[in-house]
């Protein structure tokens, strides 16, 4: 999984294909998850998503171990830290994302996801983990301005439901960004896949008691075939598979290339949202998208 990143001109086509697939899967997930939320509560979907993803990731880790890949030792103290990380990177992140998605649009949700690199740099600078250049600071300002424009596009004249939804989406992105900053020191020792696997497992264990009542009602009342298909996609196509592909690609490509592919997600989400959910891409959303995209480019740009 580790190794030197290839230069843009020498990046294998398979890596580009993986990153393109990740963007398509994540972009479609915001639309399909919104369909699933028509039949179950956000908390119920969080429990199913975290538990299902943990099962798939642990199965993949077991398969890699049988293939001869050495497994780093997990210390007892690591579990306490990963429990905290799981609250940020999965429990709070997923609950705020799905609760926000239920109140907002798939397009807005994908734009908040795109803003994660900007938020990550902001937390890294605030915690003195990184130094920000002038372009990086400008990227943070522009990206956050775009996110805030989605929350309050016309001052106080905004539908409260949409404003709350977009605020929850921003909190989701901020929670995940802080998770990325805090987990960075342990990734070289434990490995990204293992950390993510335990993150989802501990999140499932902490969220299950809260969602037990809703899940019990769901098992009794059931869902439509479309609902179950949407949930299956959220777990497999919208979480587990893109996480695995993204981790594989990140070890082989520069972060600037990853940022470019991340910017495809709102395009996919907006297109599918317009066709299947009849969402409108209004003027203030377009301005917010430009600000977020500019912020991502500036915050991830590095002078050669």
What digits encode the pLDDT tens for the residues 272-302? 988 888 887 777 778 888 888 888 777 766 6
Confidence band, pLDDT 50/70/90 cuts, at residue 96: very high
Residue 144 lies in a domain: yes
pTM score: 0.84
Beta bridge partners of 253: 6
207, 47 contact by CB (below 8 A)? yes
Confidence band, pLDDT 50/70/90 cuts, at residue 256: low
Residue 225 lies in a domain: yes
Encoding tokens for residue 124? 């890294």
Is pLDDT at 9 greater than 60 in this prediction?
no
Residue 80 lies in a domain: yes
The parent domain of residue 280 ranges over 8-300
Q: φ and ψ at 6, to 5 degrees?
A: -80, 155
> CA-CA distance, 51 to 49, in Å (whole number)?
6
Residue 61 lies in a domain: yes
> CA-CA distance, 65 to 60, in Å (whole number)?
9
Domain count, the chain: 1
**DSSP letters for 118-139:** HHHHHHHHHTTSS---HHHHHH
Residue 132 lies in a domain: yes
Residue 2 lies in a domain: no
Handedness of CA 123, 128, 130, 132 (dihedral sign): positive
Residue 1 lies in a domain: no
Burial class (CB in 10 A: 0-12, 13-18, 19+), 236: middle
> CA-CA distance, 192 to 201, in Å (whole number)?
14
> CA-CA distance, 68 to 64, in Å (whole number)?
7
Confidence at residue 159, expressed as pLDDT on a 0 to 100 scale: 61
């Amino acid at each position: 999984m580790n190794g030197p990143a290839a230069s843009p001109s020498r990046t294998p086509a398979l890596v580009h294909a993986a990153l393109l697939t990740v963007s398509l899967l994540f972009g479609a997930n915001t639309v399909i998850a919104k369909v699933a939320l028509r039949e179950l509560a956000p908390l119920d979907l969080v429990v199913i998503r975290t538990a299902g993803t943990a099962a798939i990731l642990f199965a993949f880790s077991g398969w890699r171990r049988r293939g001869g890949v050495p497994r780093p030792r997990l210390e007892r103290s690591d579990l306490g830290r990963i429990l905290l990380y799981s609250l940020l990177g999965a429990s709070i992140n997923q609950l705020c994302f799905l609760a926000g998605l239920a109140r907002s649009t798939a397009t807005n949700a994908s734009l908040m996801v795109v803003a994660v690199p900007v938020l990550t740099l902001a937390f890294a600078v605030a915690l003195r983990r990184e130094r920000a250049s002038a372009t990086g600071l400008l990227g943070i300002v522009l990206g956050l301005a775009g996110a805030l424009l989605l929350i309050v596009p016309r001052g106080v004249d905004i539908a409260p439901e949409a404003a709350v939804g977009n605020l929850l989406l921003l909190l989701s992105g901020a929670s995940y960004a802080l998770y990325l900053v805090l987990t960075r020191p342990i990734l070289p020792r434990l490995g990204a896949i293992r950390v993510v696997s335990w993150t989802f497992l501990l999140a499932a264990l902490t969220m299950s008691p809260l969602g037990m009542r809703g899940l019990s009602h769901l098992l009794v009342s059931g869902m439509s075939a479309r609902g179950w298909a949407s949930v299956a996609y959220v777990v497999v196509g919208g979480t587990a598979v893109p996480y695995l592909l993204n981790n594989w690609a990140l070890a082989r490509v520069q972060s600037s290339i990853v940022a470019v592919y991340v910017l495809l997600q709102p395009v996919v989400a907006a297109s599918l949202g317009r066709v299947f959910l009849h969402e409108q891409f209004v003027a203030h959303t377009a301005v917010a998208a430009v600000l977020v995209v500019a912020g991502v480019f500036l915050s991830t740009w590095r002078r050669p």
